[in-house]
């Protein structure tokens, strides 16, 4: 019998996803939230919601005793940990059992066995699962690690032993780069998992990342639900997944499925899990086993028609698996694209701030959106910067890819930087269309990082000009509300003995400013003099504009003088220039290092008085589950350091300044 009430020990789209299944099954839901998530979507969707502490995850979503206390007081019979946070924490699983609350996940012993990548690989080796050549030992001294890397042969891959999701992972091409990469990987691993141990493996030059979804019950039954290709990655983290993996012949599919079941059986598994393999040419190797449901599980659901969260609850309630291996079948093809608030032009630096405008594709049987945010919500610096997951399905890979491209074209986000341009470029790339997949896809195809797309200068300028004119008209209407004859209520650019027009000056931050001359017409339209052409323009209700009779969707989001015009999902930013504002003077090169995003100072690598060269690492910030190293902008001497490890800093806050020379130069 299923549970009457379950607590979801997670947030965002994860919690929203689980709530959706619970509603269908008639399970009441208890959400938890930090102070930063007080008005989040998952809080509103749950039947009840309890606060668990301040914004930092370690004080809220990772506070085991607090969460267990909420479960007791709320009467929750089970705890679903989602994926991320405490989902692979054996101590949390044991705490649930001790409190008499059912843990919706694998046994603690299985979590521990797979929680250490090194121990997991040793166990898999004994079970006969193929492994990548590498070092998985306990001796973590730099000399031993360097010797093992030399034995394996460069390039090598450093991986956090207790980690996942690309945290604590570094590729090292040469022996002289090992020490710095090792320190960085260990620091990130400790910050993310509280464990700085690493393992070293041979780095495969052109691998595919293919994983097998497995499920086991407490009655000895284990099945696999086919494979997913997760090769399209940035920072060793997946951004596009698909199922089934293209180009996998039946014999290899069968062998990988058997190996995954062998891995699950070797640890006495129960519940949902994912066995990840690295594949190159005709060989596959065990990489790791994630003892939880994966972020990309929806593509498996789309090709099987199953609800894997429902299976998790049924297994946790003691029921046998709903299906046996021979009863499972995959149909069609599915893609998942992860939409992140990040800037691909700045090495995928997370982007924070309010979602000033958000439009998602309409959901159908073939298009699904898993999200935890709405327009007006804020992407904070405390958690993963994912906005949503877009999942599409169709009968064939080609048809599904067309669905993906069309749905990505419908997505509109203004307020934060996103990876939507990158995702669209990948979906439309010929190499991706022919399934030439590998984990270095973006690096080998740097053209996918180009951000310019969609729209033309005239279209963008016309939409921006109409938006400004509409705002001014609204403002004058307010002025004249109390006096219908007020001359200040007229917005028709009237001139004595001359034609009425209005000049608007726009800058895109790059070249010279462009003037748009607007001529109001008696029929409500406006003639716009644009570079090289004159068009008749009309702004209609909502986000539509008619240009010379052609109606287009051109949303414009205005924030002060900044206007963002969205053309086919791509953002084009213009600034309305105040013609009477004096121009800014030239400034000297900045001799300060500031925080690019809100973050926590993880490590300080210099002290006042140090002489550094341009590009030298100065300090390391931690934000949104990643580390960011700030480098010296030029040669010089460190003057002052304003923050220490553990300090929280805001965007734009000064962290390091350079010393001033005797002649006053810096």
Query: Annotated catalytic sites, by residue?
Result: 292
Report the distance separating Cα 515 and Cα 84, nearest Å: 50
Q: Residue 244, preceding bond cis, omega within 30 degrees?
A: yes
How many helices (H) and strands (E) are present in the chain, helices listed first? Answer: 16, 40
Question: Any idea which residue has 């990876």 for tokens?
Answer: 419
Q: 642 to each of 19, 56, 603, 622, 656, how far by Cα in Å? A: 44, 22, 13, 17, 6
Residues contacting 253, CB < 8 A, separation 6+: 226, 227, 244
Residues contacting 195, CB < 8 A, separation 6+: 160, 161, 162, 163, 189
Are residues 375 and 358 in contact, defined by beta-carbon separation less than 8 angstroms? yes
Cβ atoms within 10 Å of 612's Cβ, excluding its own:
19
From the list 160, 187, 191, 184, the residue with the least C-alpha distance to 58 is: 191
Question: Max CA-CA distance within the chain?
Answer: 94
Report the distance separating Cα 501 and Cα 517, nearest Å: 7
Report the distance separating Cα 587 and Cα 134, nearest Å: 52
DSSP code for 499: -
DSSP 382-427: TS--EEEEEEEEESSHHHHHHHHHHHHHH-EEESS--SHHHHHHHH
Question: Any idea which residue has 């209700």 for tokens?
Answer: 541
Are residues 233 and 217 in contact, defined by beta-carbon separation less than 8 angstroms? no
CA 44 from chain centre, in angstroms, equals 22
Judging by beta carbons within 10 Å of its beta carbon (0-12, 13-18, 19+), is residue 249 exposed, middle or buried?
A: exposed
> What are the phi and psi torsion angles at 257 (to 5°)?
-60, -45
The 3-state DSSP class for residue 135 equals strand
End-to-end CA distance of the chain: 72
From the list 86, 14, 87, 69, the residue with the least C-alpha distance to 46 is: 14
Report the distance separating Cα 85 and Cα 114, nearest Å: 16
Report the distance separating Cα 338 and Cα 240, nearest Å: 6
DSSP 579-626: TTSPPPPP-PPP-EEE-SSSEEEEEE---TT-EE-TT-EEEEEEETTE
């Amino acid at each position: 019998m299923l549970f009457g009430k379950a607590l979801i020990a997670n947030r965002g789209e994860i919690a929203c996803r689980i709530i959706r299944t619970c509603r269908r099954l008639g399970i009441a839901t208890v959400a938890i939230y930090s102070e930063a998530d007080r008005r989040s979507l998952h809080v509103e969707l749950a039947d009840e919601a309890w606060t668990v502490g301040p914004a930092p995850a370690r004080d809220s979503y990772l506070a085991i005793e607090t969460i267990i206390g909420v479960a007791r007081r709320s009467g929750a019979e089970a705890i679903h940990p989602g994926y991320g946070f405490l989902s692979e924490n054996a101590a949390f699983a044991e705490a649930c059992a001790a409190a008499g609350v059912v843990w919706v996940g694998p046994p603690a012993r299985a979590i521990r066995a797979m929680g250490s990548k090194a121990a997991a690989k040793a166990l898999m080796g004994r079970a006969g699962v193929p492994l990548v050549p590498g070092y998985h030992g306990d001796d973590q001294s730099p000399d031993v690690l360097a010797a093992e890397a030399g034995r394996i042969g460069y390039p090598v891959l450093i991986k956090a032993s207790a980690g996942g999701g690309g945290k604590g992972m570094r590729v090292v091409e040469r022996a002289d780069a090992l020490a710095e990469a090792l320190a960085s990987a260990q620091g990130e691993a400790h910050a993310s998992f509280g464990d700085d141990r690493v393992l070293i493996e041979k780095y495969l030059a052109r691998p595919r990342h293919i994983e097998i979804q497995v499920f086991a019950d407490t009655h000895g039954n284990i099945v696999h639900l086919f494979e997913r290709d997760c090769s399209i990655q940035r920072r060793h983290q997946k951004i596009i997944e698909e199922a089934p993996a293209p180009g996998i012949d039946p014999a290899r599919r069968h062998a990988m499925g058997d190996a995954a079941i062998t891995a699950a059986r070797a640890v006495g598994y129960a519940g949902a899990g994912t066995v990840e393999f690295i594949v190159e040419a005709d060989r596959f190797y065990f990489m790791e086993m994630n003892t939880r449901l994966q972020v990309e599980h929806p593509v498996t659901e789309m090709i099987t028609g199953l609800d894997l969260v429902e299976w998790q609850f049924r297994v946790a309630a003691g029921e046998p698996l709903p299906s046996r291996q021979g009863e499972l079948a995959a149909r069609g093809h599915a893609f998942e694209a992860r939409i992140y608030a990040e800037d691909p032009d700045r090495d995928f630096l997370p982007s924070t701030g309010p979602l000033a405008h958000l439009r998602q594709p309409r959901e159908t049987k073939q298009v699904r959106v898993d999200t935890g945010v709405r327009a007006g919500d804020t992407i904070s610096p405390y958690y993963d910067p994912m906005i949503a997951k877009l999942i599409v399905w169709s009968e064939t890979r080609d048809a599904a890819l067309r669905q993906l491209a069309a749905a990505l074209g419908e997505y509109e986000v203004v307020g934060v930087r996103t990876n939507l341009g990158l995702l669209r470029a990948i979906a439309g790339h010929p190499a991706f269309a022919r399934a030439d997949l590998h984990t270095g896809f973006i690096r080998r195809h740097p053209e996918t990082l180009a951000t310019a797309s969609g729209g033309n200068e005239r279209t963008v300028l016309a939409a921006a000009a109409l938006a400004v004119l509409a705002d001014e008209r609204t403002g004058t209407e307010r002025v004249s509300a109390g006096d219908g004859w007020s001359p200040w209520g007229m917005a028709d650019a009237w001139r004595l003995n001359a034609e009425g027009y209005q000049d608007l000056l726009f800058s895109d931050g790059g070249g010279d400013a462009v003037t748009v001359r607007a001529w109001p017409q008696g029929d409500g339209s406006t003639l716009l003099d644009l570079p090289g052409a004159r068009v008749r323009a009309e702004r209609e209700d909502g986000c539509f504009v008619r240009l010379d009779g052609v109606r287009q969707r051109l949303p414009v989001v205005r924030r002060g003088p900044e206007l963002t015009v969205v053309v086919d999902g791509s953002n084009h930013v213009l600034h309305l220039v105040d013609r009477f504002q004096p121009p800014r003077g030239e400034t000297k090169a900045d001799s300060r290092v500031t925080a690019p995003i809100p973050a926590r100072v993880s490590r300080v690598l210099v002290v006042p008085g140090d002489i550094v060269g341009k590009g030298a690492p100065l300090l390391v910030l931690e934000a949104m589950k990643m580390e960011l190293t700030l480098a010296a902008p030029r040669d010089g001497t460190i003057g002052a350091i304003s923050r220490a490890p553990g300090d929280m800093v805001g965007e734009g806050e000064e962290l390091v300044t350079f010393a001033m020379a005797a002649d006053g130069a810096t």
